[in-house]
Structure formats: structure tokens, C-alpha cells
Amino acid sequence: MPKAKTHKGMKKRFKVTASGKATKRSAFRGHILSKKNGKRKRHLRHNTIVTGAEARHILEGLRPCS
């Protein structure tokens, strides 16, 4: 069996919390920020928890190699 590898693209975009949940950066925060109001930008500052089937797929890709 070949070694299990961490998906490097996922490693750059997602993080696993201490409780085992996957977090991601909020979308719509990269550019064209002048038309977005302050409240919207302030709420987009925080990371969000990924849920559902997407979270399972991400956690599988980020699983530490053993």
C-alpha cells in the first residue's frame, strides 16, 4: 500500500479545530470590498465551521498520515 498523503490544497484552505471540526475562511472577502458595508465586512472577518458531507470530505483529506 502506498503512503496516505495529506491533500495540500485542502491544507492551505482549511484547518481542523481541537474538537475535530473543519473551519474555513469566509467567502466574498478577497476583493471588491468598497461596495460592501462595514457590518458585512466585519462579519466576514471570522472563520466559519464547515458542516455536512463537505466537512467529512475535508477531514478525510486532512487526516494525518499514519
In angstroms and rounded to an integer, the radius of gyration of the C-alpha atoms of the chain is 15
CATH number for position 55: 4.10.410.60
Model confidence pLDDT, tens digit, residues 8-21: 999 999 999 999 99
Q: What is the mean pLDDT of residues 23-42?
A: 96
The predicted structure's pLDDT at residue 5:
87
Domain assignment of residue 54, yes or no: yes
Residue-number span of the structural domain to which 52 is assigned: 8-62
The structural domain count of the chain equals 1
Residues 52, 65: Cα–Cα separation, whole Å = 23
Q: What is the mean pLDDT of residues 34-61?
A: 95
Domain assignment of residue 3, yes or no: no
pLDDT band at 64 (very low <50, low <70, confident <90, very high): confident
Domain assignment of residue 2, yes or no: no
